[in-house]
Amino acid sequence: MSDRLELALYGKGGIGKSTMSANLSAALAASGARVMQIGCDPKHDSTRLLLGGRSIPTVLDYLRDTPKERQRLSDVLAAGFGGVGCIEAGGPKPGVGCAGRGIISAFEFLERTRAKDDYDVILYDVLGDVVCGGFAVPIRREYADAILLVTSGEFMAIYAANNILRGIRSFDGDEHSRVAGILLNGRALPDERARVERFAEAVKLPIVCRVPRSEAFLRAEERKRTLMELEEFPEERAVFTELAGQVRAGLPLRRALPLTDSELEEAVLYGRRTVSVPAREEAKAPAPAPEPEPVRERAPEKRPALYGCAFTGAATIAVHLTDAVIIAHSPRACAFYTWQNISSTGRKNLFNRGILMPSAISPNYETTEIGHAEAVFGGLDKLRSHVERAMERRPGAVIVITSCVSGIIGDDAEALERMSTPETPVIVIPADGDMGGDYMQGLEMCLHRIAERLVDPDAQTRPMTVNLIGELGVGFNTDVNFRTVKGWLDALGIGIGCRFLGDAGAEEVRRLTAAPLNILAGDSADGRALRSWLEERYGCRFFPRCLPIGFDASRSFLEELGGFFGVADRVAPIVEREAAQYGAEVARLRPLLRGKRLFMTTINTSMDWLLDAAESCGMEFCWIGVLNYLRQEVKITDRPERRSVAEEITDFPAVLERLREKKPDIVLSNYTASVPEGDYIVDNMPMTQPVGFRSGLEILKRWALLLERRREGEWSHDRALFEKYFA
């Protein structure tokens, strides 16, 4: 915990809380504190007096207009009187959008940019009329340490103050005391003082400050200054100086004990004594909540966006923690589409290759089925009961993934991490649908969170083991590749400590640091980012090569791996066996494929493993086109001699033009459905490349078969083929 104090001033709109906040910030700054004031009212005028009437860009306007990689705190932070750091969260125009969600996004930005790091006091100025999930963010426990209720003697202002107490109570119950008291901003109304005193007594709170009605505020407003800057109002200044002194000395904090509506009327309007809400039965001592991790920026390397949502990306990888229960805090539809995404690969693998992937066919995945009622009244209670039921099953972990809806309504799902037990951590992935980013960002967020909660940084070393890192959750070849690698490792006497994350239990993830070596599955930007993170965070040591594709790469991979573990002598027999099989396979395929013209259109830039195999079978390359939609820097093939037939292309119609010119026998594409029928066979370029010595030959075998079928006339009537391979 830092020594920084985070104080939230809540009050009904128009009650003067921004004036109170600005004057209190100014008084705190004058007392020597480093203060930041964050305005959380869509009107965005909280810091106006501190800034001499100047208005500043709001965080939300800025986030909307600025690409994420160019967002900087300094663009929205301005220094006001006494060096007070001024921030306005902003919000949508009245009548549109969701201001509460805006507050959530603004707070996420401030966390991400570590905006509060250089200040002693953070003062949140928050609209308290509507304590929906978004406006309640500042009173979540990871933000406000203390809360001041600003009110006048008007019944509706007191009503709003009581509502705020309800919001605080729903976060804190009887476990925490965070209410500092009431700030009475006098309006010179009849019976005003007595009304507020009656309310204060009923909710057992002190009135910590009484600000008298005064012309001084009007004059200061006209001059666009805080009272601290105006010599002529010593009495009013003294009120704020005194309050600042109390804040710095530490205001005693009390529990929130709100009244029911009828109790409030009785107490405030009719002066009848009333009872506050009885204290709840003392809850069982909760497990200590983990310190919230600062939200990290993605690694700076530019990576292509994948247009699934962060929720889907997180769920797709989370199901690979096999003994966990994954709870999608989402409507049924989001969970269903994600389930389809997860299970389609599993089903394809089962039907086409007879490979059973339990976590993909029948994922350990359920949903809270957020509906209308939860969208209006909040879904936290429903989520809590789901987590409770899941905990009864004693899983290795309970993973909660939040969707767009739970993000918009502001459910504080992360608070449920307090339900963790030593055996079963509750891990919340705050994906908030696509507000947490795209598919890959959700996946990354999920991996980081799981590691942070499970990995034991000091696990005892287990020699002769490796971890496999960054296998693709839904890759068609993922499991086939794993089997290939496992076969090699078994032959070398090397065990697999943990697949992070692929069909691993919580215990295996806990021991991630026990393996002396880690192997990255694929050389993608996301894989490299995960590698750097694990190196930095846990000191993981990585093998310099990723899982190899093709004969030469596989041989070098095994030789170096054998050398690392001192079992180089076991490598030669594997390579000899593979070489013999490779030779036999080439001899069989060569007569079938010799002279056949290959046309390739792909988004993958790694292709030499396939072209090597095609070349050894005597095939010709008539065109190699790399589709570079994102116009990134790409390197097409490592072999200079192949570049004469290679081309970088940015739109698919150009591919079709080349297709008409080149007259190929085989078309290999990532988009087979877009290739028109013709006098050639069409095959799919795998997104996850097949690992191993015979990676390319496996694909060539398929071409040989298809060409043969076509020769026999079967291809043009391919129902039999379809039934054989896909039905």
**In which element (H, E) is residue 43 found?**
none
Task: Confirm if 512 and 498 have CB atoms less than 8 A apart.
Answer: yes
- CA-CA distance, 173 to 280, in Å (whole number)? 7
Query: x/- contact string, 368-407, with ligand SF4 (CB under 6 A)?
Result: -----------------------------------xx---
Tokens of residue 621, six digits: 């390359």
- Is residue 337 involved in binding ligand SF4 (CB under 6 A)? yes
Which position among 39, 167, 181, 433 is part of the footprint of ligand SF4 (CB under 6 A)? 433
Task: Confirm if 234 and 62 have CB atoms less than 8 A apart.
Answer: no
Is there a catalytic annotation at residue 490? no
Q: Which is nearer to ligand SF4, 395 or 437 (CB)?
A: 437
| C-alpha of 219 from chain center | 48
Residues 6+ apart with CB under 8 A from 214: 233, 235, 236
Is there a catalytic annotation at residue 224? no
Identity of the residue numbered 552: D
Q: Which is nearer to ligand SF4, 408 or 706 (CB)?
A: 408
Q: Which is nearer to ligand SF4, 367 or 616 (CB)?
A: 367
Give just the sign of the alpha carbon dihedral 473, 478, 482, 485. Answer: negative
Task: Confirm if 174 and 282 have CB atoms less than 8 A apart.
Answer: yes
Query: x/- contact string, 402-431, with ligand SF4 (CB under 6 A)?
Result: -xx---------------------------
Q: How far is the CB of 309 from ligand SF4 (least distance, A)?
A: 3
DSSP H helices, 178-251, are: 192-202, 215-222, 234-249
User: Which part of the chain contacts ligand SF4 (CB under 6 A), choosing from 60-68, 279-287, 306-314, 696-704?
Assistant: 306-314
Is there a catalytic annotation at residue 129? yes
With H, G, I as helix, E, B as strand and everything else as coil, classify residue 290.
Answer: coil
Query: x/- contact string, 311-330, with ligand SF4 (CB under 6 A)?
Result: xx-----------------x
Q: For ligand SF4, how many residues bind (rule: CB under 6 A)?
A: 10
- CA-CA distance, 721 to 706, in Å (whole number)? 9
Q: How far is the CB of 628 from ligand SF4 (least distance, A)?
A: 27
Place of tokens 């406000």: 144
User: Which part of the chain contacts ligand SF4 (CB under 6 A), choosing from 308-316, 343-351, 553-561, 565-573?
Assistant: 308-316
User: Which part of the chain contacts ligand SF4 (CB under 6 A), choosing from 55-63, 164-172, 307-315, 354-362?
Assistant: 307-315
- CA-CA distance, 315 to 296, in Å (whole number)? 20
Tokens of residue 405, six digits: 């809806």
User: Which part of the chain contacts ligand SF4 (CB under 6 A), choosing from 46-54, 205-213, 304-312, 516-524?
Assistant: 304-312
Is there a catalytic annotation at residue 679? no
Compute φ and ψ for 90, nearest 5 degrees.
80, -165
- CA-CA distance, 403 to 436, in Å (whole number)? 9
- CA-CA distance, 62 to 381, in Å (whole number)? 34
- CA-CA distance, 512 to 525, in Å (whole number)? 22
Q: Which is nearer to ligand SF4, 6 or 444 (CB)?
A: 444
Q: Which is nearer to ligand SF4, 318 or 334 (CB)?
A: 334
- Is residue 439 involved in binding ligand SF4 (CB under 6 A)? no
Which position among 434, 479, 526, 683 is part of the footprint of ligand SF4 (CB under 6 A)? 434
Which position among 228, 334, 553, 706 is part of the footprint of ligand SF4 (CB under 6 A)? 334
| C-alpha of 367 from chain center | 18
- Is residue 19 involved in binding ligand SF4 (CB under 6 A)? no
Tokens of residue 470, six digits: 């960054």
Q: How far is the CB of 485 from ligand SF4 (least distance, A)?
A: 33
Other C-beta atoms lying within 10 Å of the C-beta of residue 6: 20
Q: Which is nearer to ligand SF4, 167 or 436 (CB)?
A: 436
Q: Which is nearer to ligand SF4, 138 or 433 (CB)?
A: 433
Catalytic option among 41, 116, 125, 129: 129
Q: Which residues are catalytic?
A: 12, 17, 43, 129
Contact positions toward ligand SF4, by CB under 6 A?
309, 311-312, 330, 334, 337, 403-404, 433-434
